[in-house]
Structure 1
């Protein structure tokens, strides 16, 4: 499985080009490193933390920022199996974060406290998917 940790510039530009004034939901699919891969000069570099432990640090430090911008986790689940799709994609964390606007998401990721905390995510994650979506009204059919 190819490692996707941070957005590429073109992906981030495409995100910013979409409507920023509407609520968005961000689907997060995350696979952890067995051992956290902190930069060698980081205080936690030689502590032997697992990727899951490093991600828990990320969550603890970013939860107040998420709340401050008006965001929340609206769905969490435990991965069981893939019925259709690549069988090598196994996720350790799956959740949807909701933001009142894309501006709020951008405010979160540019917050200095978030910028400091993101090192935990980068150390924790082997690969991930972060998918922006627009909520729709539920219907009785799929289309």
Structure 2
């Protein structure tokens, strides 16, 4: 992890998400659409805090039915498919390296979350569990 304060990482509040064309672990096309609201979670498979967060992700998704959740993981497709099966997740999991997380989303710390409204960043920060997410979500 880079030595950057967590509030300085991630796309700035008010900025638009990048226009990315991605495939999830099921090889389905995933686009970040301008009229959608998203919960974007970034995890590394080599981060203990990220691994601890994984069982909480489904509960995070349930906080808002108006937001689509997308998980960005450093795991390869095989790892991501295993996680999806194990947790019975229905949302997309997209493989990004830590370098790609930084390049496209300016995320240099994990686990990290970005909450959007109409494709603009409303809130962002490091989260360790559902409680952290709810506190951040209530500020958005």
For the aligned pair, the TM-score class normalised by the smaller chain equals 0.3 to 0.5
TM-score by length of 2: 0.32
Larger RCO (CA under 8 A, 6+ residues apart): 1
Structure (1 or 2) with the larger CA radius of gyration? 1
TM-score by length of 1: 0.32
